[in-house]
Every structure is written in structure tokens, then in C-alpha cells.
Chain A
Amino acid sequence: MTSVPDTEIDRGGRGWYKRNEIAVTPWLFLAPAVFFFAVYVIIPIFQSINLSFYDWDGLGEATFVGFDNYIELADDGAFEVSLWNNLKWLVFYLLAIPAGLFIALFLNQTVAGIRLYKSLFFFPFVISQVVVGLVFSWFYLPNEGLLNSVLGLVGIDPINVLGDPTLATYGIIAAGLWPQTAYCMILYLTGLNAVDPEQVEAARLDGAKGWKMLWYVIVPQLKPATFIAFVVTIIGALRSFDLISIMTNGGPFGQTRVLSFYMFEKALSEYGFRMGYGAAIAVVLFLIMLVFIAYFLWSMWSEEKGR
């Protein structure tokens, strides 16, 4: 824990700045970052919330419509689909956490070349989601895709994953899980490195092994890694845009839209420049995120106090 000394050193007679140096310096150092962040992040949040009460095409005059945008959302089928898809993303994207833990346990050995194996397993995370999306859309191709070639070998009829309204979203989530699992894996590998060997030995002497050992001894020690994995996965799930845009562009029949994508479509694409309506969708997404942000901040705050 750090603290500023209570006793001010006497700086009398050396000008205002010198006398107030400790009080003023942090603000000078903060100024550029706070300015940029306020202009590009904080103020736009409020502008969007404000805009969601207007009807605006991005060029002409904006007209105040009160809660009309939100009332329209309640009856908008496409919005409902997007909301459900966001929920699917949230639930299934979290599979990256156990999957990452599993791979980390598999790789947490000391055999020749294991370091290279670890970095190659991490590889998918470094690649742009645009490329990941392209690759998976080829993998899913209805006739030529590798998936259907493999399914053909075991005698299953080909399926058009991305063309099937019920399957498409799961197909995209599977593509997203690939890099996300790699990320969780690296978090857990670092966490496993720091697991206290004495506790493991003590538990072994008490007869703990296998799943029991994992659940009661190892997983509790991995809590910080799990927390970060949880944070990044939730954020990733709610931000999902790139993969959808590349793999299906919202289709088939708009069944793979999520809020972030639908918002973009409403505000900026050929479906019409409805900025206010788009902003209202974004506000809903923001409110969902706010629940998680509040929880994250609360855990960080209790940790800060505990120091």
C-alpha cells in the first residue's frame, strides 16, 4: 500500500507551483488522458442516451420523440431475435472458460518443446477475427466444407450450418470460442504456475486426487485467473460484431443478428440511417453491460479496500 507522507516538506518562498507541487502534479499528468477519454468515450455515452429520445437521419434536424424509439423496440421482432442471440452468446461463450482450463491442465507439463506447444495453442487469439470468420465460413461451406466432408465419412447428411436459421448463431459462436478459449487457456496456464505446491502436496497426503483435487484445491487458487477470464469473455460476448458481419452479415433472414450488429444496421447501413433508433438499441446493450460493469467495479473496489 502506498501513501503520500503526511508531513509536507517546507517549500515556502519558491512560488505557487513549488508550494503546491504535490497537489497540482497529478492533475497535470492526468489532463491529456482525461481530456481524450472524456471527449471520445464518456461524453458520447451521454450523447447516445440523449439521442435515443430523438428521431434523426444523421443529416437534417433531429426531432424529439420521447420514448417512442423504446416503445417501437418493444414490438420489433428483429430486436427480440437480437436480444435472444445476445443471451445465447453470453451463455455459450462462457464455455471458453472451462475449455481453456481443460487445455491449460493438459499442457501444464514439462516435456521437451512444451513451451512451443503452449504458444502455438495460443496462436488463434493473435489472429484478427475477420480472418477467423473467413476460415470458419469456409469450414462450414454447404457442399465443399471440411465439416461436411467429415460428417459424410460417418454417414451424416451434409448440413448448411450458416444457412440454417436455427444453427447459424451456434456456428458463429463456435468460431468465436476458438480464439477465446486460447485466451482463457493462457490465463489459466499463468495461474497454474502460481499454484502453491505445498498445498497440493498436503492435499495429496490427505488422499485428494483427480477431480476432487481440481475442484477443492486447484480451482479456488485460480480465482484471480477465473475472474479475469470471466470479465474478458463477457465483454467479448457482448461486443461480438466482427464474426457476424463476416460470416453471415446478420442472415439468414436476420436470425444471427445481435444487438451490436442490429444497431449498426439500423444506424449506418443501407437499411436506413435511423440514428435515434440505433442509439436506443445501443442504450439497451449498454444497460445490460452496466450490470456486469457494476459487478466488476464492485469486486475491484472491495479488493482495493482489502489492501
Chain B
Amino acid sequence: MFPTPIQKRPVANQIAYKTFLPIALILWLLPLIAVAVFSIKPAVDFTQGNYWGMPSSFEGFANYGQVFFNSDMPRYMLNSFLITIPTVVGAVALSAMAGFALGIYKFNSNIWIFFMFVAGNFVPFQILMVPVRDLTLDMGLYNTKTGLVLFHIAFQTGFCTLFMRNFIRQLPFPLIEAARVEGIAEWRIFWYVVLPLMKPALAALAVLIFTFIWNDYFWAVVLTQGPESQPVTAGITSFNAQYRAAYHLMSAGSIVAALPPVLMFFLMQKHFIAGLTLGAVK
């Protein structure tokens, strides 16, 4: 193991390490701690210049109440869910099928189609902006959640297919051969043999895509406007315009907006990290 386990070091080093660990964590998360404290402060703290000190009174309920009952925030949150969940389902379904095709079958253009997905996934999305916006306008889907979902599904399919294909490649191939010898139809092999083995990959992708799409800002601004269809990342900015310099409300709003992916991460941590680090180990 590297570095040398701290247990093998002198006691003084061990104590130093254990004291420094929480200090380092607090320093690292300082920006977040600040927002959390901001969100329970009364407005008067900011007008009196008490930005970074202790809150003079606890106003958490009032601030969060304002966010939930007196702003467009709940609506933006709902939009985010209505955009994120269909995208996750769509992208995972499409890429599971494509990954199966690319991972199991050998045909001439296999590697080229695979590289098309990989390359497309790396493209800077600004080059897609004007044509995708036009396409969405032409389909009458501009400023709708559907328009955003369709694009997200398509774009995320690139990354997901890369992931699925590499995962399927690691499955024991004799299993599929055995099924073929038994005369099982190919689509049944997909459904009954491969898909059950892919559960960890499906879970990992689902949490990753959830986080990516929830946090998307660029496409939300390009393809939607206004509270009827914009997700919470875009909503936060108009929220800011509404409560300019009302740091306590902006903080409360930001925390509410950040909460779903954070919860997702802590609940599904194992899958999340497995997904992010796929390929980091040979």
C-alpha cells in the first residue's frame, strides 16, 4: 500500500494526521459550509456587513419557506425531475441495446460505429447548438421539456454506449454461446441472459446520468426559457435576478436545487463511483 499506512508511523505522526484530517475537510468544504450558514441567516446580517460570522438569529424556516412557497422554485424542481427521469430511462435503454450489439457481435463496421459514439461524446457541444436549436424549433418543441429530453437522450447515448459496451465485453462470452447452442433467440439472450448481468452497469449509469442532466445548464438556456419548462439550474439564475443581493434566499435556493443529486450520490455511492471510475483500473 502506498503511502505507508499511518499505523506504521510514529505515534506523533498518527495524531497529527488525525487532527489535520478534519481541518483539511473543513477547508475543502468551506464554500459549501458558507452557503449552508448563509441560508439560515436573517437578511439584516447582510445589510449590517455580517457576511461570514455567526448568524445573529436562526431564520432557516423563514428562508426555506420563502423558497418553497413564495417563488417559482418548486416549479423549476418539478421541471428538473420531468426532464431528468425520462432522459435517464431513455439513454440507459438505448445504450443497453447499442452496447449489446457492439459488445457481443462481430461485424465489419463495429469498431467504427463504436468510435462514432465515443467521438461524438467528446465533441464540444457548442458546435451542435445552432442546428439542434433549429431542429427543435422546426419540430415545435422549442421551450418544451420534451425537446430538451430528446436532445439529452441522444447526446448521453454516446457516453452510455461506451460504458455499456465495455461492460458487456467483460461478461463471460461462453454463457452467450451456450444460450445460442440451446437455440434461444438473440433478443431473448439480450433480455434473459445479458440484461440481468448488466444490473450494476445500469445502476451506475442511471445515477451518473441523473447527476449530469440535473446539473446541465447550457442546454437548458439554449432550448428553453421561462418557468414553464426550464430546469432548476436555469431557474436559479432568474431566482437571483428576482432576489438580487438577497444572499440568504439565494443560498437557500441553491441548496434546495443541489439536494437531489447530492442525495442520489450518498444513497447510491457505490454505483456512482463505480460508474465514474470505470476504466481507471485495468
B169: chain A residues at CB < 8 Å are 2
* Residue contact A26 to B107, C-beta cutoff 8 Å: yes
Known A5-B177, A246-B237; judge A135-B217 contact (CB<8 A): no
Known A42-B120, A108-B2, A245-B217; judge A224-B282 contact (CB<8 A): yes
Chain A-chain B contacts (Cβ-Cβ < 8 Å), number: 297
Q: Which chain B residue has the least Cβ–Cβ distance from A304?
A: B111
- Interface SS, B side: helix
Q: Which of B221, B265, B266, B280 has the most CB of A within 10 A?
A: B280
Of A33, A105, A127, A242, the residue contacting B217 (CB under 8 A) is: A242
Is B117 on the interface with A (CB-CB < 8 A)?
yes
Is A78 on the interface with B (CB-CB < 8 A)?
no
- Please report which residues of chain B, range 115-155, place their CB below 8 angstroms from some CB of chain A when the two chains form the complex: 115-120, 122-135, 150-151, 153-155
Binds B, one of A65-73, A158-166, A182-190: A182-190
Of B38, B119, B157, the residue contacting A293 (CB under 8 A) is: B119
Is B29 on the interface with A (CB-CB < 8 A)?
yes
CA distance A32 to B258 in the complex (A): 32
Size category of the B interface is 35 or more
* Residue contact B124 to A128, C-beta cutoff 8 Å: no
* Residue contact B94 to A33, C-beta cutoff 8 Å: yes
Contact with B along A208-246 (1 / 0, CB 8 A): 000001100110000011001001000100110110011
Is B10 on the interface with A (CB-CB < 8 A)?
no
Q: Which of A2, A25, A224, A225 has the most CB of B within 10 A?
A: A2
- Interface SS, A side: helix
Q: Which chain B residue has the least Cβ–Cβ distance from A149?
A: B52
A172 to chain B, nearest CB (A): 14
* Residue contact A37 to B281, C-beta cutoff 8 Å: no
CA distance A278 to B124 in the complex (A): 13
Is A151 on the interface with B (CB-CB < 8 A)?
no
11 contacts between A and B (CB under 8 A): A32-B98, A37-B120, A41-B120, A128-B257, A145-B51, A193-B281, A225-B277, A279-B127, A283-B127, A285-B126, A285-B127
**11 additional contacts (CB under 8 A) given A2-B106, A131-B257:** A21-B185, A30-B113, A41-B123, A42-B120, A45-B127, A110-B5, A111-B17, A121-B28, A128-B261, A138-B38, A260-B126
